[in-house]
Amino acid sequence: MRRPDLNILIILDAVYRETSVTKAAERLNLTQSAISHALGRLRLLFDDPLFIRKGNRLVPTPLARTLAEEAAEGLRNLEALFDRGGTFDPAENARTFTIGVRDVLEVSVLPPLVESLEVSAPQVSLKSVFVRRSEFVTRLASGSVDAVLDVYLDRPAEILSERVSDEEFCVLARKGHPLVKEVLDLDGYLSCGHVQISARQEGDVFEDCRLHRLGCRRKIRLRCQHYLSGYRAVKGSNLIATMPRRLAEMFCDATEVQLLPVPFEIGRMDFYLYWHASMTDDPANNWFRRKLKNALRWRGEAEEYETLLIAEGG
């Protein structure tokens, strides 16, 4: 180890991202024994186990996490050094892009994005993953995700962002609900049992924060993780739910569920696209961010989307 060996840093990065020797070997087109040998050298060098097996996953130790994140940043800088003036051809280059996104946007952004990639980037693959908000900075810094879509988040200077979408809200109730008529006022809204939808285990959500400003609190009868689950709960009960209109229109069966305006000033929820500053001028990441923004601007109108594709050159 007297001479620097960049290969073992690449291997460390791959094991950290894949949490598996087998997957890291497939990613790098190496044998599993080569991966294991490199990890052994690193363990001796740093006097640390680096990865601990838990089930089918290799969980990094605190030192391994630090090393992998710093190694990833260093490798990106080296790539940028040698690729100055380089280009990315989506029609020819094989690449997998990873996006961190929550279901509120995933269900609407992925279909037009995949449609666009099939036309203009046949060699490009896409991976959509859930990224904890407490980890989104390290995931972007390590390169394990290329970009993140989420609400406004506090972030350090090396994480850049752009507001890319906003969501209007509506109220869902089943047809024939005894407390919900064609017009729903605030008193009627508060008298109903509600579905609260959040991936977090506890805490208020967007509409609750707005209600608190009015000095109001609703009755939560069900808390679930996904909007589709919330929609189905509403369809089969007297519970109501507040959710982004774009999602509600995708789910809604007009013969069973009605969509109503929110009976108080709720506003819109803004969403932002986040990426690491080192990727700002990267041709591939730049192209991917542009594709994401185009997909978010699509609202289901085929002619509008075709115009957008033409304007962006596919």
Q: Please state which of the ranges 1-5, 64-68, 145-149, 219-223 shows the lowest mean pLDDT.
A: 1-5
Residues in contact with 240: Cβ distance below 8 Å, sequence separation at least 6, in sequence order: 171, 172, 173, 177, 180, 189, 192, 193, 194, 195, 234
Instruction: Say yes or no to pLDDT of 1 above 70.
Output: no
In a domain, 88, yes or no: no
pLDDT, position 272: 93
Q: Are residues 73 and 207 in the same domain?
A: no
Q: Are residues 245 and 285 in the same domain?
A: no
Quick one: pLDDT band at residue 6, thresholds 50, 70, 90? confident
Instruction: Say yes or no to pLDDT of 304 above 60.
Output: no
> What's the domain range around 218?
169-267
Q: What are all long-range contacts of 113-117, with beta carbons under 8 Å and residues at least 24 apart?
A: 113/291, 113/292, 113/295, 116/291, 116/294, 116/295, 116/309, 116/314, 117/90, 117/291
Last residue of a domain, one of 54, 82, 110: 82
d(CA 282, CA 86): 9
Q: Are residues 176 and 263 in the same domain?
A: yes
The predicted model gives 24-50 an average pLDDT of 89
- Which residue from 171, 173, 168, 169 is spatially nearest to 233, judged by alpha carbons? 173
The predicted model gives 43-72 an average pLDDT of 88
- Answer whether 1's CB lies under 8 Å from 45's CB: yes
Instruction: Say yes or no to pLDDT of 309 above 60.
Output: no
Residues in contact with 202: Cβ distance below 8 Å, sequence separation at least 6, in sequence order: none
Instruction: Say yes or no to pLDDT of 297 above 80.
Output: no
Query: pTM higher than 0.85, yes or no?
Result: no
Q: Are residues 302 and 259 in the same domain?
A: no
In a domain, 180, yes or no: yes
Q: Are residues 244 and 297 in the same domain?
A: no
pLDDT, position 70: 80
In a domain, 259, yes or no: yes
Quick one: pLDDT band at residue 87, thresholds 50, 70, 90? confident
Q: Are residues 197 and 254 in the same domain?
A: yes
Q: Are residues 71 and 102 in the same domain?
A: no
Q: Read off φ and ψ for residue 59, nearest 5 degrees.
A: -95, 125
In a domain, 87, yes or no: no
Instruction: Say yes or no to pLDDT of 305 above 70.
Output: no
Q: Using one digit for the tens of pLDDT, what is the confidence trace for 95-138?
A: 889 999 987 788 888 988 998 888 888 888 899 998 988 889 98
Last residue of a domain, one of 31, 58, 82: 82
What percentage of the chain exceeds 90 in pLDDT? 39
In a domain, 33, yes or no: yes
Instruction: Say yes or no to pLDDT of 299 above 70.
Output: no
Q: Using one digit for the tens of pLDDT, what is the confidence trace for 169-204?
A: 999 999 999 888 878 999 999 999 999 998 888 889
Taking the CA atoms of the chain, what radius of gyration do you get in angstroms? Answer: 23
Q: Is 162 helix (H, G, I), strand (E, B) or coil?
A: strand
- Which residue from 77, 277, 266 is spatially nearest to 162, judged by alpha carbons? 277
d(CA 140, CA 134): 12
Q: Are residues 283 and 225 in the same domain?
A: no
Q: Are residues 216 and 198 in the same domain?
A: yes
Say how many domains are in the chain: 3
d(CA 270, CA 204): 17
Q: Please state which of the ranges 48-52, 59-63, 104-108, 282-286 shows the lowest mean pLDDT.
A: 104-108
Q: What CATH number has the domain bearing residue 233?
A: 3.40.190.10
Check residues 196 and 69 and name the one with the higher pLDDT.
196
Q: Are residues 152 and 191 in the same domain?
A: no
In a domain, 177, yes or no: yes
d(CA 150, CA 296): 12
DSSP string, 38-60: HHHHHHHHHTS--EEEETTEEEE
Residues in contact with 205: Cβ distance below 8 Å, sequence separation at least 6, in sequence order: 196, 197, 198
Taking the CA of residue 247 as centre, how many other CA atoms within 13 Å lie in the half-sphere pointing to its CB?
26
CA distances from 251 to 31, 43, 117, 194 (A): 46, 51, 25, 18
Instruction: Say yes or no to pLDDT of 300 above 80.
Output: no
Q: Which two structure tokens, joined as six digits, stand for 192?
A: 């109903």
Q: Are residues 139 and 60 in the same domain?
A: no
Last residue of a domain, one of 61, 82, 103: 82
In a domain, 1, yes or no: no
Q: Which two structure tokens, joined as six digits, stand for 102?
A: 């929550």
Q: Using one digit for the tens of pLDDT, what is the confidence trace for 42-53?
A: 998 889 999 999
Q: What CATH number has the domain bearing residue 14?
A: 1.10.10.10
Residues in contact with 284: Cβ distance below 8 Å, sequence separation at least 6, in sequence order: 88, 93, 95, 97
Q: Are residues 194 and 262 in the same domain?
A: yes
Q: Read off φ and ψ for residue 60, nearest 5 degrees.
A: -70, 145
- Answer whether 165's CB lies under 8 Å from 247's CB: no
Quick one: pLDDT band at residue 85, thresholds 50, 70, 90? low
Any idea how long the chain is?
314
CA distances from 48 to 6, 33, 39 (A): 19, 19, 10
